[in-house]
Amino acid sequence: MKYRIFRRTWWKENPSYPNGLEPEPGPRHYVRGAVFDDEDKCRKECQRLNREAKSSLTAEQRRLSLKYEFESF
């Protein structure tokens, strides 16, 4: 089985919801070249990307909870 990494947000702006955020997973944006044969290696790479992204995310991306994830295909 193969695994690929993507990123997406988990919230969308909606003023009628508490804190102005409504739960709604956004579209998947696949990371070019991030395909793995091993699930554990893929999981570790997602963790690394999420750690590194913390300092470079915009305020809006942090607010909407942009995260790196993976799926099998």
Q: Where are the domains of the chain?
A: 3-72
Q: How far apart are CA 13 and CA 60, in angstroms?
A: 10
pLDDT digits (tens), the chain, 73 positions: 999 999 999 999 999 999 999 999 999 999 999 999 999 999 999 999 999 998 899 999 999 999 999 999 9
Q: Could you tell me the pTM of the whole model?
A: 0.90
71 with 25: CB under 8 angstroms? no
What's residue 55's pLDDT? 87
